Amino acid sequence: MKMTDNKTFGKTLLLSGGKTDIDFVSIYLKSHKFDTVVCADSGLETACKLDVKVDCFMGDFDSVSPGILDKYMNKMIKSSIDAQFIRYPAEKDATDTELVLDYILENYPSQIIIIGATGGRIDHLLANIGILSKALENGVETYIIDSYNKIYLIDGETELHKDDIWSKYISFYPYTDEVKNLRLSGLKYELEGVDVIKGSSRTVSNEFAEGVDKAYVSFDSGILTVIQSKDK
């Protein structure tokens, strides 16, 4: 289901339907520009509140106010007059966010930022972290962010830069059942060749070592969830 004009999506913003800190998103969008914006279901309400230009809105739309949906469908939002509209049935085998992510991945994104994937229902949060593996398999950098967290997956050696860290804390949690021979350097709590299994909290809540600007993560096999976060 590719865009009919063969457009490449480039840097893409996916606005999902979870609870969103509008003030945070407003500030974030002032310093981050996107080539394409796609809304999943009630992510359309976030776009409307922020007057974000929408390129496509998709979902079963069971949680969007009829008034807002009508405005976009009838091209009453001037900035989004050319937005594509795709409706899915309410009974389906995937969440709206997963279906939208699949659609984005078919259209050659260079990077994906997902907002609205963490607030509200825990089942949706877990599912949203789970579907990050699709982007990883496609080689597309994809991040779930909110005002307190930046979440992504890695499957090999990664360099972390202190200037790019979302906030103070960095946690690592196995996405696969086991991550073999995990090595951490440049962080306050370093590791040298430790097997970490899912269910262990050993690698939660790390941070950069004092006076260090770069840190390194490597392992022999598995996939790691990386969570950069701060306290409320």
What does the buried/exposed string (b/e) look like for 88-122 if buried means 16 or more CB atoms within 10 Å of the residue's CB?
beeeeeebbbbbbbebbbebbbebbbbbbbbbeee
At 80, list the tokens: 């989004």
Query: In this structure, is residue 5 part of a structural domain?
Result: no
Q: Is the pTM of this model over 0.85?
A: yes
Residue 118, in any domain of the structure: yes
Instruction: Indicate the number of domains in the chain.
Output: 2
* 3-class secondary-structure state, position 92: coil
Q: Is 61 left (phi over 0), alpha (psi -120 to 50) or beta?
A: left
Q: What is the CATH number of the domain that holds 95?
A: 3.40.50.10240
Bridge partners, 59 (sequence order): 87
- Same domain flag for 49 and 122: yes
Q: Which of 147, 167, 194 is the last residue of a domain?
A: 147
| 140 and 163 both lie in a single domain | no
Give yes or no for a contact between 179 and 223, defined as CB atoms under 8 angstroms apart.
Answer: yes
Residue 4 included in any domain: no
3 in any annotated domain: no
Residue-by-residue pLDDT tens, the chain, 232 positions: 445 455 699 999 999 988 899 999 999 999 999 999 999 999 999 999 999 999 999 988 888 899 999 999 999 999 999 999 998 877 777 888 999 999 999 999 999 999 999 987 889 899 999 999 999 999 999 999 999 999 999 999 999 999 888 889 999 999 999 999 999 999 999 999 999 999 999 999 999 999 999 999 999 999 999 999 988 7
Angstrom distance (rounded) from CA 97 to CA 14 = 8
Same domain membership, residue 117 and residue 54: yes
Burial of 186 (0-12, 13-18, 19+ CB in 10 A): middle
Q: Which residues form the domain of 179?
A: 154-229
